Structures are given as structure tokens and as C-alpha cells.
């Protein structure tokens, strides 16, 4: 079921599609990290759920698809779980 959620970008900007040349050829440099408030996530997705690896994320503004590479909970004051830190990578359609 698709969910419409609000996320926070740590830098405040979407990364541009820079080209990165390496020994194997041309690749896009797209390290993208988003933060989602834990309470907000649980209100929308359900208590005890988490962003899962291979979930698909669509950003309407740059019109790009990303795939969740990993996610974990950040801890704040007194080690309370506060925010989901989600690492995204470009979705490869094949």
C-alpha cells in the first residue's frame, strides 16, 4: 500500500546527478540520506513497523525513484529512539 510521508533531508537539498568516473566505467554519485520522525512514521505505517530494505521511495519534485538500501533508528536524549535514518540509492529498473 503506497504511503505519502514527509521526510527531512539533512542538507535541505536533493543531490544533483553528478557523474562519477571509476575503473569500471561511468556511474552516478547518489548517496542520499533522509530522516523520518519515528512517532510520525508509526502514526502512518503502524506501530512496530520500519522502513524496509527494497522499499521504493518516489520524490515528486525531482521526479526520481529511489530504493531503500538500509535504515536504522537514531537515538537522542537518554537513548530514546527518535528518528529513522534511511539510506537510499538509485532504483535500477531492469
Supply the mean pLDDT for the chain: 84
Residues 6+ apart with CB under 8 A from 86: 7, 33, 34, 35, 36, 51, 57, 68, 70, 71
Residue 40 φ then ψ, to 5°: -60, -45
Q: Which residue has the higher pLDDT, 9 or 16?
A: 9
pLDDT per position as a tens digit, 17-61? 666 666 666 665 556 899 999 999 999 999 999 999 999 999 888
Model-wide pTM > 0.85: no
8 has a pLDDT exceeding 80: yes
How large a percentage of the chain has pLDDT more than 70? Answer: 79
Amino acid at each position: 500500500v503506497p504511503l505519502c510521508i514527509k521526510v527531512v533531508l539533512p542538507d535541505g537539498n536533493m543531490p544533483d546527478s553528478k557523474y562519477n568516473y571509476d575503473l569500471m566505467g561511468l556511474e552516478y554519485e547518489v548517496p542520499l540520506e533522509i530522516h523520518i520522525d519515528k512517532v510520525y512514521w508509526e502514526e502512518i505505517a503502524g506501530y512496530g513497523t520500519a522502513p524496509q530494505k527494497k522499499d521504493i521511495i518516489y520524490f515528486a519534485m525531482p521526479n526520481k525513484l529511489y530504493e531503500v538500501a538500509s535504515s536504522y533508528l537514531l537515538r537522542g536524549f537518554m537513548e530514546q529512539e527518535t528518528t529513522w535514518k534511511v539510506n537510499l540509492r538509485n532504483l535500477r529498473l531492469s
